[in-house]
A = this chain, B = another copy of it.
Amino acid sequence: MLELIRSLAIPNTTKIVLMSLDGLGGLPRPETGKSELETARVPNLTALASEAACGLLRHVAPGITPGSGPGHLGLFGYDPLAYQVGRGVLESLGIEFDLRAGDVAARGNFCTVDSAGLITDRRAGRIKTEASVLLVDRLKTIRLPGVEVLVEPVQEHRFVLVLRGTGLSGRLTETDPQALGKPPLPVKALEPAAVRTAEAVNAFVEQARRLLADAAPANMVLLRGFDALPELPRFPEVYGLRAAAIAAYPMYRGLAKLVGMDVIKTGATFADEITTLREHWQAYDFFFVHYKDTDKAGEDGKFDAKVEALERFDAFIPAVRALGPDVLVVTGDHATPSILAGHGWQPVPVLVWSRYCGADPVTLFAERACAAGTLGVQPAHHLMPLVMANALRLTKFGA
């Protein structure tokens, strides 16, 4: 598919904005029978949906709950099953870590464990970044024979562990049992070539346990998403687009960088992101703009907070439309239903607005309404070809 698009892409001056609301999709709250999107007052999204073609995106496969990495790769046009990338790699890229060929990266969480070593909070209450920096300083003292250990803070409770050396493999299981009241797990090799790496990681974890035993506000680490740097087709070359990513959170910047987008420096708020979009409007053809608040509220199981996050997002739409994009897409990387308090497998609403989109009868940007849209339910990686077409940037196939 990417090769087909590459062969059909043609130049144009049209501008595309792809707005990804992290964890956009939701589920009805039993008390009201309405989802977060159905509850929120989002007049600008409603108006946009009325003028747009709507549908639902499925990012990986039916019933499969996407992580944020596969979710965004799908939005960028990469089949997430064909292009698998570990979270460690994404997090490393997100902090501009100079990941090199052969490095193995993992995502770390600072967590809390009780006196028996059982996990009491997998995120240590989402401790502040400043606290993480101090804990990372302790981890930086860890030395392993024959392997260079690199540890860097990311944001809140998250950090990156990179092992550098020869003959390392990222084919490892994770230490995070994804549950409270259990101890962190030892990592296991998923291929013979990973046995030595597994030993190194387990030695790192053992040293970390001792170094953090008396630390606060977190006293242990969880490691997951081990992977080495993969090679992906470059987004700007596949689509012939000068592509910019605007995201306050490192992981999404990292993902954009991985596919070759320019990651533009922006501030910590979504208002900052919109300012950045305006300032760089002339320099790019394609803008990926990421909004995190929806996912955060959903992950915390806070229905009302997610509704408010949607309403805050909605208020920025006029500013984006005022820039005059030729194609405006609003969607998400996966569902995060508040009643699940985690990512969900449900397909995610999408709207594609352009002069040529063929607005459908859908007048509400919500899960059930979009199911009746003319875009139907489709794989997320089919979105970009449609976006390119709406931007009049694809020539016809065959004469």
The answer to whether A62 has its CB under 8 Å from any CB of chain B is yes
> In whole Å, how far is A31's beta carbon from the nearest beta carbon of chain B?
13
* A272-285 interface code vs B (CB 8 A; 1 in, 0 out): 00000000000000
The answer to whether A69 has its CB under 8 Å from any CB of chain B is yes
Specify which of B4, B60, B368 is in contact with A374 (CB 8 Å cutoff).
B368
A342 to B394, CA, bound (A): 12
Chain A interface main SS type: loop
Specify which of B68, B356, B367, B394 is in contact with A27 (CB 8 Å cutoff).
B356
Supposing A63-B388, A368-B374 touch, asked if A87 and B4 sit within 8 A by C-beta, the answer is: no
B28–A60 touching, CB < 8 Å: no
The answer to whether A142 has its CB under 8 Å from any CB of chain B is no
A358 to B8, CA, bound (A): 38
Residues of B within 8 A of A84 (CB): 398
The answer to whether A107 has its CB under 8 Å from any CB of chain B is yes
A60–B397 touching, CB < 8 Å: yes
Residues of B within 8 A of A385 (CB): 61-64
**CB nearest to A370 among chain B residues:** B374
> In whole Å, how far is A173's beta carbon from the nearest beta carbon of chain B?
11
A390 to B27, CA, bound (A): 12
Interface of chain A residues 59 through 87 with chain B (CB within 8 A): 60-71, 80-81, 84-87
Specify which of B63, B69, B386 is in contact with A398 (CB 8 Å cutoff).
B69
The answer to whether A360 has its CB under 8 Å from any CB of chain B is yes
Residues of B within 8 A of A396 (CB): 64-67, 342-343
